[in-house]
Amino acid sequence: MTAIAIVGTGRMGTAFAKRLIESGHEVSVWNRTASGTAAAEEAGATVAHDIADAAASDVILLSLTDAAAVEAVTESLIVAGIAGKLVIDLSTLLPDQTRAVASKITGAGAEFVDCPVGGTVGPALKGQLLGMAGGSEAAFARAKPVLDDLCKRVEHFGPAGSGAAMKLAVNLPLAIYWKTLAEALTMLEGSGISPEAAISLIADSSAGPTVLKNRAQVVIDTLNGTDQPGTFDIAGLAKDLDLALRQAALSGRTMPLSELAAQSYGDALSAGLGGFDGASLTRHLSSG
């Protein structure tokens, strides 16, 4: 049993808590909005009174929205005292942002691993995520037993920031896919082929990524006119797409397909589709 604190109990943070409790760990949770800890507490987690209470755990997992949140929590943890602790950041940030956080954490005497994950709530609850880790060999070795309880596969890619870079590379094709699927469906206009038949065949072909195979019914229902709540929604996809474009700019690279996709995500967000599945971007574009 390991004493683990989870800072950030959104959908994924709560799923991490439930999975780790089921795996036999002692879990405490802390969230900036106290009401957000209710589901984790119901699953058996202890609610930390404050960030200092969370910092008392041996291992501290961060599951936060953006760099500003991670940086703010990092400062609070350092003030609380984290010497000898292990901090694992599961958030999705830019590599440079992750390296800056890593420097502060290790400077305070703790070990640090960045390990953003591939997968949503369902795989998290089953321990079937993909872990993309960065950090020292020693920190990764210490983190791996915990990460193995969350992930079906964990890869260590190098120093801090390496996991962040890999996560952006993984999410980018998915973000673009929903736009390309919309263009593919334009080939079927007037053909009489139903969304059910089209998606079933595409999902079973080389044009069908894992997300389409796993969520075919969600896509079909969306294309039939009923937008579905997203486990990795349009707002999240747009955020990660923006991070990828910012990273490309820092590297002096251009990504024309990604830039066009970002415009489509902006349109979808303006249409109020931010909380829906990525398939809603496909429906939005193909119905225009």
Using left for φ > 0, alpha for ψ between -120 and 50, and beta otherwise, residue 166 falls in alpha
Q: What is the pTM of this model?
A: 0.93
Q: Do 28 and 54 form a contact (C-beta atoms < 8 A)?
A: yes
Q: If you ran DSSP here, which 8-state letter would residue 48 be given?
A: P
The pLDDT profile of the chain, 288 residues, written as one tens digit per residue, is 789 999 999 999 999 999 999 999 999 999 999 899 999 999 999 999 999 999 999 999 999 999 999 999 999 999 999 999 999 999 999 999 999 999 999 999 999 999 999 999 999 999 999 999 999 999 999 999 999 999 999 999 999 999 999 999 999 999 999 999 999 999 999 999 999 999 999 999 999 999 998 899 999 999 999 999 998 999 999 999 999 999 999 999 999 999 999 999 999 999 999 999 999 999 999 986
Q: Do 80 and 51 form a contact (C-beta atoms < 8 A)?
A: yes
Tokens of 100: 């800056």
3-class DSSP assignment, residue 208: coil
Q: Do 136 and 159 form a contact (C-beta atoms < 8 A)?
A: yes
Q: If you ran DSSP here, which 8-state letter would residue 224 be given?
A: T
Q: Do 155 and 13 form a contact (C-beta atoms < 8 A)?
A: no
Which residue from 116, 110, 74 is spatially nearest to 95, judged by alpha carbons? 116
Q: Could you give the CA distance from residue 190 to residue 185 in angstroms, rounded to a whole number?
A: 11
Q: Could you give the CA distance from residue 273 to residue 267 in angstroms, rounded to a whole number?
A: 9
